[in-house]
A and B are shown apart, each in its own frame.
Chain A
Amino acid sequence: MRHEELLHRCFRCGWCKLPTNYVDFNCPAYLQFRFESFSAGGRMWLIRAWQQGELKASERLARILFTCVTCKNCVQACAMPGIRDQLVDIFTAAKGELVEQGIVPPAIRDYFKSMQTYGNPYKRPATERAAWAQGLDLPRFAGQDYLFYVGDEGAYDELGIRMAGATARLLKRAGVDFGILGEDELSDGNDLRAAGEETLAMALAEEFIDRLKSHGVRKIVTLSPHALNIMKADYPAWGGSFTVRHYTQVLVPLLRKMPLAKKEIRVTYHDPCYLGRWQGEYEAPRAVLRAIPGLALVEMARNRKDALCCGGGGGNFFTDVLGHGEDQAARVRVREAAETGAEVLAVACPLCFKMLDDAVKAENLEEKIRVRDIAGLVLEAAGA
């Protein structure tokens, strides 16, 4: 197994369980289940026991490993420099081993099947990929500065579609020269890879890279931080070197020239794992929000590198292997957001949008706080 030589170096000291200010457990799976086995250190020891033949691969082991949502909170908090940066990659590699052995939770198996059969987790035809853009009068990509890539969630998820529409309208309003691929889009493969199906993820990515190249794409603006991550981190090694930016990063310099109406509103912002801990971008979304006159940005107790994950990574958004309940990360997160007194919980990721919106309902917080995508908020201030 990849990184097998590092497995024995985890002391299981438990630093990985808490953010730097210790306010609560930081791993969505550990938060939910609380057994030591679901902590990063517990996983390390179990993987080692499995690799050494002390434990057999089992459904339980699969559940323990596949509930890692790849949020990197453990990486952020780990006390061991010798293994810290590899932790999530070790868990992903272990998932990959289980995939090869055919021991995966049923929901994960169904997710893989959907990706294999339909090319997306929603089991929807590729012909519907452009439906989100209907009525928006968006040009197809034909050599513009940017390709605007919306991905699976932007194309098929109800809230993702709304977010994709708002972002496209805002990019237009800001004067960004972009086009879309519509039916020609393919899944970016980020979450498939994080769920352990690296072979299929790479095959999808390589096909998509070829398609991007055939369209002459050089610069990409993404709706989702997940797409941003794989395109920046992995595509170059797979033959696809593009300039890739998240939509908030593209908007920051342009908003200075855009007149925005005053909006006296108290907002807290949720850092998406793949924009923050994975790609190190914490300020662009905040800068976009601050561009709205009158908007008061308040921080949750856990923010930036310490932000709690919504639980939507690693394929859990599509598979729900983490399950539900009061300790569900998204529900904990919206309670934290409500504690700030903010009326709006702003998001920059379509997966976070859906996870947190559902959590607000589950927590009966609808009258206290609303989940809004950043693009939608700015668009409203722009009077569009």
Chain B
Amino acid sequence: MHDIYDELVGIVGEACISRAEEELYLYSRDQGLQPPGRPDYVVMPTSTEQVREIVLLAGRHGVPVVPLGGGLVLSGLSVPRRGGIVLDMKRMNRVLEVNELSHYCVIEGGVTQGLLQAYLARRHPSLKHSVPDAPPAATIAGNIAIHGSGHLSQSEGGFHSEMVTGLEVVLPTGEVCRLGSCSTVPKWFSRAPLPDLVGLFLGWNGTTGVITRIGLKLFPNHPLKDVLMFMTEDIDAVPDILFRVIATEMAEDITFFVTPKPAYFDGFQMTNIHVVAHTPREMKLKMEIIRESLRPYLDSKEAGFLPLPPHMKVNLLAAPQKSLSEFADIRKGGGFEYVGSIMPVESIPGAYRAGLEITARNDVTYSMGARVVGRGHAVMFYYAYPFNRADAGEIGRVRAALDESNVAAMELGGIPWKTEVAGQRMILERMEPATRDFLMRIKKVLDPQGIMNPGNWEVTP
């Protein structure tokens, strides 16, 4: 493959490509527990044109291309299953446009969540985007491509993929396409009213092309923020609690979590309700409406609001929350992986009980929870398991718990989210045959040589 290396150097320059053992080792694995997969090259393009040239080169040689954002997916979706070129997008990190009046921005495919937050905070402080709970080094493109969700998912319209107003993509055959309004007029404000092609690149795990530019919805950034924590010991009450709070339309973000540690949380189900406002009066009113929505629980003393000390509030109000990453080291072992599952709100109690059984059966530590997406149209329910990287036994037990969690999620009417190759196959097996065939046909049309992130969304290994 030496000629490929030379050709890649010709495209991106020597400083932006590596085939050294050190890079091949690191890009062979992510933080989760999926098996490593070794690339042949790691390449960092700086422009759409370079991406196009790389994809064309890969097509000529029949070499796989695996796009990589922040590398934080945990389920191995950016780990090359059949070698080839890892396309590390981090050098394409420019914010190209912010349209304040139309509430959108246009960014390159390697822009991180943190960089966009910082850019908006400095130049457009009245606007914000929806921030996932991933660390700030996660990229926007990576997150929308996996149907991520974040702190505005409840109040502002759902999954992050639904906040995309347009895309620029490099197809596996080398064409550069703009999708959405930007395909027709020089503005990135909307996917409607055109035939919606954007969905061909969202949820496909990089198997249909490389996202090089994104039009993304922005939202008002309120100056005041506060948070309430509602506690109950009755898991069966949680869907109703969420329903009541959602119905007020006063909350920006609603999340639910259970954790056995710290001990004072053990046995309780907590619902975090984030509220934003322009004025103290507005904040007071919103908080009061939310409290009233839960009046039957308060009156019956079956549940209540937990007084939050200031340090906890600061922690909870941060977006993203740094403390969530500390979870990876609670076993003093620097590891965790989770099964996320998109499921209906009413599945929460069952998912919780299944999680308790799985963790007990496998003797693993856990955290479980959910984020409300849309006005309760779905939740992203997670089973998160920390582990010690130096403890092979624990790693084995967590692997088993993850597999069982995938199965449990599907049995409860959910669908595993950003799931690893084995989980994708499980989904495809249960998918209606006509739909599965349609999906495979589209994939084949877009990527006739099968060079884009092969191994993902494939019926057979």
| Interface residues in chain A, defined as those with a beta carbon under 8 Å from any beta carbon in chain B | 8-15, 17-18, 21-24, 33-37, 42, 45-46, 49, 54-56, 58, 60-61, 64, 79-83, 301, 325
Contact = CB atoms under 8 A, between A and B. Distances in A.
Interface in B51-82: 70-72
Nearest to B72: A14
Given A24-B115, A33-B15, A64-B22, A15 B335 contact: no
B117 A34 contact: no
A9 B88 contact: no
B20 interface: yes
Contacts of A81: 326, 329
B221 interface: no
Contact of B122 (A42, A58, A64, A301): A301
A79 B322 contact: yes
A56 B21 CA distance: 9
A229 B43 CA distance: 39
Nearest to B113: A22
B220 to A, nearest CB: 20
A33 B22 CA distance: 13
Interface string B318-349: 00001101101100111110000000000000
Contacts of A42: 26
Nearest to A22: B114
B121 A21 contact: yes
A13 B121 contact: no
B325 A79 contact: yes
Scoring A36, A37, A55, A61 by chain B CB atoms within 10 A of each residue's CB, the highest score goes to A36
A22 B18 contact: no
A13 B22 CA distance: 19
A37 B70 contact: no
B89 to A, nearest CB: 10
Interface string B97-139: 0000000000000001111011001100000000000011110
B328 A13 contact: yes
A152 to B, nearest CB: 31
A46 B72 contact: no
Given A8-B333, A45-B26, A80-B326, A35 B118 contact: no
A11 B29 CA distance: 12
B33 to A, nearest CB: 13
Scoring B113, B136, B137, B335 by chain A CB atoms within 10 A of each residue's CB, the highest score goes to B137
19 contacts: A8-B335, A8-B388, A10-B334, A11-B325, A12-B71, A18-B114, A22-B113, A34-B16, A34-B44, A34-B91, A35-B18, A36-B27, A37-B22, A55-B22, A58-B22, A64-B22, A79-B323, A82-B332, A325-B15
Contacts of A56: 21
B122 A23 contact: yes
Contacts of B118: 21-24, 301
A35 B44 contact: yes
Contacts of A46: 22, 25-26
A10 to B, nearest CB: 5
Contacts of B121: 21
Contacts, number: 117
B125 to A, nearest CB: 12
B395 to A, nearest CB: 11
B31 interface: yes
Given A35-B23, A36-B88, 6 more contacts: A8-B335, A11-B328, A14-B71, A18-B114, A35-B18, A58-B21
Contacts of B333: 8-9
Nearest to B110: A34
Interface in B156-191: none
B151 interface: no
B418 interface: no
A49 B44 CA distance: 24
Contacts of B136: 14-15, 18, 22
Nearest to A23: B118
Contacts of B390: 8
A201 to B, nearest CB: 27
Nearest to B20: A60
B329 A82 contact: yes
A49 B25 contact: yes
A36 B388 contact: no
B90 interface: yes
Nearest to B70: A14
A80 B70 contact: no
B389 interface: yes
Interface string B1-41: 00000000000000110101111011100010000000000
Interface string B131-158: 0000111100000000000000000000
B26 to A, nearest CB: 5
A356 to B, nearest CB: 22
A8 B27 CA distance: 17
B380 to A, nearest CB: 19
A192 to B, nearest CB: 25
A79 B135 contact: yes
A97 B27 CA distance: 24
